[in-house]
Homo-oligomer: A and B are copies of this chain.
Amino acid sequence: MPKNKTYTLGNLANKLSLSLEGDPDAVVSGIATLASADASQLSFYHNSKFFYDLKNTTACAVIVPPDAASQCPVNKLITDNPYLAYARVSHWFAAGGDEAPGIHATAVVHESVTLGNGVRIGANVVIGEGTILGDECTIGPNSQIGPNCRLGNGTVIHANVTLYADVTVGQQGVIHAGSVIGSDGFGYARDGEKSVKIAQLGGVRLGDDVEVGACSTIDRGALEDTIIGDGVKIDNQVQIAHNVKVGEHTVICGCSAIAGSSTIGKNCIIAGAVGIINHVTIADGVTVTAMSLVNKSITTKGVYSSGTGLSEAALWKKNIVHFRQLDDLAGRLKALEKHLKDS
């Protein structure tokens, strides 16, 4: 953690609009967990499983909810949502971006590119014809931004990212290293013997405030665009196929895969390693638990799962034999029931 940023508690209370109980002149220079924070650090309490840590903390100050304030032995910043306050304050202790202002001498920027004020273009960046970057955009080293892309104000592209042609990213977007946006959708027609590629003529549109993790991929549409709504958060190694639509503020955790032309609602939570087959629709507010396969549309808000849960392998091997016989098992049970009813 960068160590050169310090704030007084009075200053933090003011910036966060929280009430402070304690010394406004006390200085914090970092954030840490309740258990590890020292007298120069701020902490937060948001979950009763850390109650012991709260009572024993040696932090300089703790962000606490009102009902726990009396149990906090040190300075306290009081709020109904300590985790949210922690999210906000965390940025004030972060290091600045790595890129220097301006365009690195080694960057290859097409003469037709439009650059906003205060852009930062890293070493070896390549930007194609007709692309437009908003104000305060940052492009990390060795990234390629294809032709005819649009990046909104304040968007940050990390290193080794590839944006193909015709990709739009809204304002305040973040694309992490190694991600690829706008690659061809996986579309082929069979001619009887082989797969004949279908040119992917659509683009990709990401809304405002979208974050995409490292090594994730979002394919361009076949004819229309692939669309990611405002505020969507996408973790690492997520795959989004052509013509998918993801609704606003949905969260997609690591290694999930969404197949072509599926539509995910708003405010959904897609946990890690979930698979969603093609051409399904998922309602708003749906949660899918880790490693589930969504093999049909989900029309009602709620929590959905698949899989068998974990077993010791020896027991599991016995059970999967019976899983393969479940239809037989169910038939035999029904026959017994009938036999007893008739007798």
Contacts and interface: CB of A to CB of B under 8 A. Distances in A.
A283 interface: no
What is the interface residue range for chain A against chain B?
35 or more
Contacts of A108: 104, 106, 123-124, 141
A32 interface: yes
A165 interface: yes
A310 B296 contact: yes
A309 B336 contact: no
A94 B180 contact: no
Given A304-B313, A308-B307, A330-B329, A255 B277 contact: no
Given A189-B87, A253-B259, A337-B336, A306 B311 contact: yes
A193 interface: yes
Given A164-B177, A333-B329, A290 B275 contact: yes
Interface stretch (A17-25, A68-76, A216-224): A216-224
A219 B329 CA distance: 43
Interface string A55-68: 00000000000000
Given A87-B198, A183-B214, A305-B311, A144 B126 contact: no
B235 A255 contact: no
Interface of A: 1-2, 30-33, 36, 81, 83-84, 86-88, 90-91, 93-95, 98, 104, 106, 108, 122-124, 126, 128, 140-144, 146-147, 158-162, 164-165, 174, 176-180, 183-184, 186-191, 193-199, 201-202, 209, 211, 213-217, 219, 223-224, 231, 233, 235-237, 239, 241, 249, 251, 253-255, 257, 259, 271-273, 275, 277, 287, 289-296, 298, 302-327, 329-330, 332-333, 336-337, 339-340
